[in-house]
Amino acid sequence: MVWRIGAQLLGAIVVLFAVVTLTYFALKLVPGDPVLAILGGGGAAPSDATVAAVRAQYGLDLPVYQQYLNYLAGVFRGDLGTSYIFKRPVLDYLGPQVWPTLQLTLASVALAWLISLALTLLTVRRGRVADAIGNAVEVLFAAIPPFWIGIILLVVFSFTLGWFPVAGNADLRALVLPALALAIPLAGFLAQVTRSSFAEALDQPFVLSARARGASTTGVRIRHALRHALLPGLELSGWAVGSLISGAVVAEVIFSRQGLGRSLVDAIVARDTPVVLAVVFFIALVYVVVNILVELLVRVVDPRLIRKRAAA
C-alpha cells in the first residue's frame, strides 16, 4: 500500500507538470500581445518605449523557453506570478475565490450522493415499475445539461417562489440552487453505476447468508449490499470532483457567485495568463489529491482490495 501511494504521488507530480507545461505553451500560441492586456486591453495605444519597459518588467522580452523555466521556478517557490489585469500577486487575487468554489463542489458531491443513494435504495429490486422509474430518472438526470437545470431552478425557486436568493454568496441558502444544478446530472451517473453494482451485490452469497440468519430486508440492503455497491461510485467521485471544479463556471455565472470558475472565464477573456495558469494548476492539483484520497477511501470500504492488489 505504501508503494502504491508513493507511485500515485509520483504520478500526481507528473500530471501537474504536464498540465502546467501544456497550458503554458498553449496560451503562448494564442494570437495577441499580452503587453496590451497589461496596459489596458486592445484599445490601448502605448508608445514603443512603454511597451519595451513593460516587456522587461514582466520578463516577456526573454525567449519563451526561459520565460517557461522562470515560471516553473516561481511555482516551486509558491509564486504563481502577478495578474496582468489586477496588478497584484495571483495568489492574493485567487485566494478569496478558492473556498466558494470548494464549498460549491463539496455541496454538489454530497447532494449527488444523497440523490443517487435514494434512487438506488428506493427502486432497485423493488418491483418492475419501481425499477423502470428509477432507470428513467437516472437517464434523465444524466442527460440534462447543468446550465439548463440552473436556469429552471432560478426561475422557479428564486423568481417565482422566492424561496432562495437570486444570486451571490451571502449564506448557505444561496448555495442550494447552484449545488443542485451541478448535483443532479452527477447523481444520474452515480445512480446508474451504483444501481448495477447494488443489484449484483444482492445476488452474492454473503447477502443470501445474511437473509438466512434472519436479517431484515432493509438491514441487508443497507448494511451488506450497499457497502459493496458504493465502490464503483466512489472511484467515479474522484473524476467527479475535478470535473465539478472545472465546470463550476456554469453555476457561478448563472447565479453570479464568486469563485474560480468566473475568475477563469474573466482571465481568458482579458488574456490574464498568470491567472489562467494558476486556476488550471489548482484544478489539476485538486483532481490528483482527490483521486489519492478516493483510493484510500475505497480501501477502507473494502480492505480486500489491498490483499488482491498485493497478490497481483
Sign of CA dihedral 279, 281, 287, 292: negative
User: Phi and psi dihedrals of 82, rounded to 5?
Assistant: -120, 135
What pLDDT, on a 0 to 100 scale, did the predictor assign at position 44? 61
Q: Are 277 and 81 in contact (CB under 8 A)?
A: yes
Alpha-carbon Rg for the chain, nearest whole angstrom, is 24
Chain segment 163-215, per-residue pLDDT in tens: 888 777 777 888 888 889 888 988 888 888 888 777 777 666 766 676 666 66
Closest CA to 40 of 237, 284, 271: 271
What pLDDT, on a 0 to 100 scale, did the predictor assign at position 296? 74
Distances from the Cα of 165 to the Cα of 23, 158, 181, angstroms: 36, 6, 14
Q: Which three cell numbers stand for residue 291?
A: 483521486
pTM: 0.75
Q: What is the mean pLDDT of the chain?
A: 79
- Amino acid letter, residue 217: T
Q: Are 104 and 175 in contact (CB under 8 A)?
A: yes
Chain segment 67-116, per-residue pLDDT in tens: 899 888 888 888 888 888 888 888 888 888 888 888 888 889 889 889 98
Q: Are 43 and 50 in contact (CB under 8 A)?
A: no
Chain segment 220-279, per-residue pLDDT in tens: 666 666 667 777 777 777 777 777 776 777 788 888 888 888 888 888 888 888 899 998
Domain boundaries, the chain: 1-89, 92-306
92-306 classified as CATH 1.10.3720.10 = yes
**In this structure, how many other beta carbons lie within 10 angstroms of the beta carbon of residue 183?**
27
Grouping H, G, I as helix, E, B as strand and the rest as coil, residue 308 is: helix
Closest CA to 281 of 236, 241, 240, 242: 242
Q: Which three cell numbers stand for residue 146?
A: 447543468
Q: Which three cell numbers stand for residue 175?
A: 448555495
Chain segment 16-74, per-residue pLDDT in tens: 889 889 988 988 887 777 777 777 665 666 677 887 888 888 888 888 888 899 888 88
